[in-house]
Structures are given as structure tokens and as C-alpha cells.
């Protein structure tokens, strides 16, 4: 292995972090052609893992490599970065099998997301093994062999995005694409010490992806850390006119909002009596240790009722949505059912008989559950759950393939049904040396908020990259705060209980704090009214501390609130007693004509008490 020359050649596993490769390319110590040759060589040593369905040949790679060699190393964000593709996602000129050779076809065009990656300079390594037709969470349901865990071949890899996760953990790709209907982009991340980005449905185009359930499915990303997860997401996200489920990314969720989450964190965790580890004491201990470590970092941890999420999860396989899996496999399942893996066929076939009445009944109940779950999620910066409750050996899984697959989805099956975003992050290893991780859960389009929280947590958990012995790199990122709400300082008629307070409450604003400004302001009762209004003016020489309130306003309501503020008032930055600044009411100097100074009273309430 002389190609990488990155002082890691003696490691049993050579992680291909994007940042490390970029540095090596810039230094001229390796080239994309050498990296791909090295990957192909090392892939042979992991043949027992059954990672690949199609590993690209030198001839198939040549066009990609030649185009890169004609361009500058700094010209593209993913120049020379190797990635793997789950084999239910199209790569032009390479068969898509969905782990079923009889079903296979060769697309003329790559999937929209794959095309975006190639345009950004990334190089496809190959198509990876999966639970056939993306039906499973374990990686054993493939005629191409059971995909085995990156850490211990006796254990499952997780699925259905099995080979995609193991390829990254073993250093055969820098990142990979998976898909996720029920947890396929999260469970394999947990079991292989990776980050698993389960984005908001529609944030990534599904064009060129064979879905398990078209209305629910989404592409996912496996990566080695939060920064690289965000980088890849930034390249592939975006609307696609050819995908009816594609959605535009709102401003609060765009890549500029990513960084290290600063400030207070309020995190919801499952009530202790509702946790399920299915007999895995090591995973239970790893979870409890994870929560305790996050609590020591200062996060506010609060227990919640997880039962509506569990009930929603059951609808995915016990309800009529299994019909979508049946539709995805037609006409093969009707004409050649024997071509489908037995346990996969057993799951999909009942979907043929679901009725419209059953679908609507399930939708009605799902809508009720979604209202409950959305209300719970809205109370927190994120939820935190185990990603998987138990780590099965392959033999254990095959003993009870349906039951234990269902157990693997206990904490994941609900998410796409409820239109939520999720991020699986690694946090611990068990005493047996097996990886464990948790999932951060947010509402739709909370993807960057979750990645920013994960970036903050990276400093709490001292973990290696993938299945290597190399430590995770410590990189610097800007601090960011929540984009879901904006704190607003009020000092007059908007105070709690006063005439204009309704303008905040009807926008679902919440009183956060009663405090004072720094002693650098003067307050005036402005002419006119009702309603009577104060004016707050900066005066660093003769100012005083003024009583104020801080209200937390939903971001989407902030604009309409500000638009209703009449002259001479406006919103500016106001300094608080603790030295921090917050957006709040200020007054233009011209508005003081005919005003009465009331600074000496210390605040608007004291003034109104004199009236």
C-alpha cells in the first residue's frame, strides 16, 4: 500500500476522511487514480464482508479520473473524493439490481444526487449490497451474501443500506449514499461507528432511486464526522423538477446555518420505563452513559412520553404502507415471485391485498399521532433516542428474522411517516468493542440544527474514525444558535399583561426572561396614544438600568411582528445587564419631541402605575 502516503499505511483500516484526502491531494502525495487503485486492492481483503454488488473496474473508472486529471485540485468541493452507492440508486452505465439479479436494469443516466456528486468532483467506487428491495434493517436479506459488520464479522451490518455503511467504516469510500424508509440510513450508521444523515423527505431528490415506499423514502448519507456530513449534504441538496416529492430548502436550514451549536440545549429523552433494549445490557449501559455525558455538558434533559411515536412506527409494516413496497417490485413479484428473497417476499406480498379503506383509516390515525408527536418535538432543541436497542449477531438475527428486524426499527420506523429529520451519531463502544450511537430527532427541515448539535457533541465523545484506530479530527467551526426562534426584548406595551402583549402571544411567543438592560439607556413616555408607548434611547453617560422582558418568538413570525412596529420605534440591538446583546425595541431620536423622560422610574410598569 504505497498510494496514500498519509502515515496511516500500517493501520488495519485506512479511513478516507475527506479532509485528509484533500490535504494529500494538495500536497501532491497521492492522486485520485492511486487512491482508487488502493481501494480496489484493499477491497479484496474484505471480500468476506459481502460489501459490493459491483465494484467499478479500471476501465469504468477511467472517464471519471481523466476528467479530474484535466482540472485543478481546488476547482471542485469534492475533487477526487471516492464514494459508494447503494444498489437501488442509479449510476449511468452500471446495472441497478436492488439485490435482485432478475430485476436488474442498466440506466442511461445517473440519479440526480449521484450526478450532483460527480459534478462536484466525487468518484463512484461501486454499487453496494443491500437488503433486497431495501426491505430490512439488518443486511442479511441479499442473495449476494450477508453483509457483515465492519468491527466483527459475526455481527450484522445493519440494513438495508448495509454495504454503503461498511464501505465507509472500512475505508473503502469517504462517504456513501444509502436510502431510508424505516431506519436504513441510521441503524447501519449506529452499528458501524458512522454518522447517518436521514434528511427531511424531499430535501434530496429521489430521481433515479428505486424506493421501498415512494411517498416515504429518502436518500441518506453515511460519513465519518459532522463536518463531512454537512459538506456532502450541501452538495446534493436542492429541488429537482423531475421529482414530485422534491422540496425547496428554507433559509433556516441552509448550509450557512451549520456550525457548533452554542447556548442552552433542551433535549427530550424517552421515559426510562419506555426504553427497550431487548436484553442487550451493554447497549443499555452505553445509552445511559451517553445521556449522562451530555447532561454533564450542561444540556437540560427532560423525559417525554414516547408511546405516540411507537404507535406511529407500527403503522409502517402493520398498516397499508406495505402496499408501496408491493408496487415498487411489480411486475416481478406478480410474474416471478420465486426470484425474490423468501423473507422479503413474505413481507411484500400482503401489500397486494390492502384496501383503500384500510389506507384512509391508517392515515386518519397517523394524522392524530403526528399532531401529538409534533407538539412534543416542538418543546425541545431535539429529541435523543437510542438508534438501535440491540446489536444482533447474524445467527441471532436469522433465528427470528422478522421479529428481530422489527426490534431494530423500534426507534426509527416512525420518522418518515411523521415527516421528521434525523441524524444518527456515534457516541460509545461497549465493553465488547462494539459501536453504539444515538439519534437526534427534529422536525422537518431541522437538518442543520441537528448537525450543529452533533458538532458540539463531537468534543464529548473520544471516538475513532470508522473501524480504524485513528482519532476523529478536531476541526473548528463557527458558533451558531437556534434558527427556529428569535429572542426579542420588549420594554413597554408588549410586556406581559399589557395592551399589546397579544401581538406576541398570538404568534406563539413565550416569555423567556425578566431582566434589565445595561445601565446605559434612558426611557421616555412618547407623545400620543393610546396605546401609550415608551422610547428607549442609548446614553452611555447618563443612562440607567431599565426593566425589560425577553420573549422568544418563532422565526417565521418575527417578520410580521417587526413589520407592525410604528415609527419612531424599531428593532435594534440592546445591551443587557450581563453584557450580552439581544434584538429589541429602540427609538429614533426625533421621536422624543414632546416626550416625558421616565428613566428615574426604572421601567414602563413603574411609570404606568403612576397613571
| C-alpha cell read off for 290 | 451517553
Instruction: Classify residue 470 by its DSSP letter.
Output: P
For 48-75, give the DSSP string: GG--EEEEPPHHHHHHHHHHHHTS-TTS
Residue 494 · residue 503 · CB < 8 Å: yes
Q: Residue 96, class by beta-carbon neighbours within 10 Å (0-12 exposed, 13-18 middle, 19+ buried)?
A: buried
Residue 530, preceding peptide bond in cis (omega within 30° of 0): yes
Residue 13 · residue 467 · CB < 8 Å: yes
Q: How far apart are CA 210 and CA 88, in angstroms?
A: 5
Whose CA is closest to 437, among 458, 452, 407, 421? 458
Residue 24 · residue 5 · CB < 8 Å: yes
Phi, psi of 54 (to 5 degrees): -145, 110
Whether 86 is catalytic = yes
256 CB contacts (<8 Å, ≥6 apart)? Answer: none
Whether 295 is catalytic = no
| C-alpha cell read off for 164 | 454503503
List the catalytic residue out of 110, 184, 207, 406. 184
For 165-190, give the DSSP string: HHHHHTTS-SEEEEEESSSTTTHHHH
Number of neighbours of residue 25 by Cβ within 10 angstroms:
19
Using CA atoms, how far residue 44 sits from 38, 146, 401, 471, in Å, is 10, 16, 29, 25
Helices 447-457, 226-236: crossing angle, 10 deg rounding: 160
Instruction: Classify residue 148 by its DSSP letter.
Output: B
List the catalytic residue out of 22, 86, 198, 455. 86
Whether 184 is catalytic = yes
Beta partners for residue 386, in sequence order: 438
List the catalytic residue out of 160, 164, 174, 207. 160
Whose CA is closest to 505, among 530, 525, 488? 488
Residue 454 · residue 463 · CB < 8 Å: no
Q: Which residues are catalytic?
A: 86, 160, 184
Amino acid at each position: 500500500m504505497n498510494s496514500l502516503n498519509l502515515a496511516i499505511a500500517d493501520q488495519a483500516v485506512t479511513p478516507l476522511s475527506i479532509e485528509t484526502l484533500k490535504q494529500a491531494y494538495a500536497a501532491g502525495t497521492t492522486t485520485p487514480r492511486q487512491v482508487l487503485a488502493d481501494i480496489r486492492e484493499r477491497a479484496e481483503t474484505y471480500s468476506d464482508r459481502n460489501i459490493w454488488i459491483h465494484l467499478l473496474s479500471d476501465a469504468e473508472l477511467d472517464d471519471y479520473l481523466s476528467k479530474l486529471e484535466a482540472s485543478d485540485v481546488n476547482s471542485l468541493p469534492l475533487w477526487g473524493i471516492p464514494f459508494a452507492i447503494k444498489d437501488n440508486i442509479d449510476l449511468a452505465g452500471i446495472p441497478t439490481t436492488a439485490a435482485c439479479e432478475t430485476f436488474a436494469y442498466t440506466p442511461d443516466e445517473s440519479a440526480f444526487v449521484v450526478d450532483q456528486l460527480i459534478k462536484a468532483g466525487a468518484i463512484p467506487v461501486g454499487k453496494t449490497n443491500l437488503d433486497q428491495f431495501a426491505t430490512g434493517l439488518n443486511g442479511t436479506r441479499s442473495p449476494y451474501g450477508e453483509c457483515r459488520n465492519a468491527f466483527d464479522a459475526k455481527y450484522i451490518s445493519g440494513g438495508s443500506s448495509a454495504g454503503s455503511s461498511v464501505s465507509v467504516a472500512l475505508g473503502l469510500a469517504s462517504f456513501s449514499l444509502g436510502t431510508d424508509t424505516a431506519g436504513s440510513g441510521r441503524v447501519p450508521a449506529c452499528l458501524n461507528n458512522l454518522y447517518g444523515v436521514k434528511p427531511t423527505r424531499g430535501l434530496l431528490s429521489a430521481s433515479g432511486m428505486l424506493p421501498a415506499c415512494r411517498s416515504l423514502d429518502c436518500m441518506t448519507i453515511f460519513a465519518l464526522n459532522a463536518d463531512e456530513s454537512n459538506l456532502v449534504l450541501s452538495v446534493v441538496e436542492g429541488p429537482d423538477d423531475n421529482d414530485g416529492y422534491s422540496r425547496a430548502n428554507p433559509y433556516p436550514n441552509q448550509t450557512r446555518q451549520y456550525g457548533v451549536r452554542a447556548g442552552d440545549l433542551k433535549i427530550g429523552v424517552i421515559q426510562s420505563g419506555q426504553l427497550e433494549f431487548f436484553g442487550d445490557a451493554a447497549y443499555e449501559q452505553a445509552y445511559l452513559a451517553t445521556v449522562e455525558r451530555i447532561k454533564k455538558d450542561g444540556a437540560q434533559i427532560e423525559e417525554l412520553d414516547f408511546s405516540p411515536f411507537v404507535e406511529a412506527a407500527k403503522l409502517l409494516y402493520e398498516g397499508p404502507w406495505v402496499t408501496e413496497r408491493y408496487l415498487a417490485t411489480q411486475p416481478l413479484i406478480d410474474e416471478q415471485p420465486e426470484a425474490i428473497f423468501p423473507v422479503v417476499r413474505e413481507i411484500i406480498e400482503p401489500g397486494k391485498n390492502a384496501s383503500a379503506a384500510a389506507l384512509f383509516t391508517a392515515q386518519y390515525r397517523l394524522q392524530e399521532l403526528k399532531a401529538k408527536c409534533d407538539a412534543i418535538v416542538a418543546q425541545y432543541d431535539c429529541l435523543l433516542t437510542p438508534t438501535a436497542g440491540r446489536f444482533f449477531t447474524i445467527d441471532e438475527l436469522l433465528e427470528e428474522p422478522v421479529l428481530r428486524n422489527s426490534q431494530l426499527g423500534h426507534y426509527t420506523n416512525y420518522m418518515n411517516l411523521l415527516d421528521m429529520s434525523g441524524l444518527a451519531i456515534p457516541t460509545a463502544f461497549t465493553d465488547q468493542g462494539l459501536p453504539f450511537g444515538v439519534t437526534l430527532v427534529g422536525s422537518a427541515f431541522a437538518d442543520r440544527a441537528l448537525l450543529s448539535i452533533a458538532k458540539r457533541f463531537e468534543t464529548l465523545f473520544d471516538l475513532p474514525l470508522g473501524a480504524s484506530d485513528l482519532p476523529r479530527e478536531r476541526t473548528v467551526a463557527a458558533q451558531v444558535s437556534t434558527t427556529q426562534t428569535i429572542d426579542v426584548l420588549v420594554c413597554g406595551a408588549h410586556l406581559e399583561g399589557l395592551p399589546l402583549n397579544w401581538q406576541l402571544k398570538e404568534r406563539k411567543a413565550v416569555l423567556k426572561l425578566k431582566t434589565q438592560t445595561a445601565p446605559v439607556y434612558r426611557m421616555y413616555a412618547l407623545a400620543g396614544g393610546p396605546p401609550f408607548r415608551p422610547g428607549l434611547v442609548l446614553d452611555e453617560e447618563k443612562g440607567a438600568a431599565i426593566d425589560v422582558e425577553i420573549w422568544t418568538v418563532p422565526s417565521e413570525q418575527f417578520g410580521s411582528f417587526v413589520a407592525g412596529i410604528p415609527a419612531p420605534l424599531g428593532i435594534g440591538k440592546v445591551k443587557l445587564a450581563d453584557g450580552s446583546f439581544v434584538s429589541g425595541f429602540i427609538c429614533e431620536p426625533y421621536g422624543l419631541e414632546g416626550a416625558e423622560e421616565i428613566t428615574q422610574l426604572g421601567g414602563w410598569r413603574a411609570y404606568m402605575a403612576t397613571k
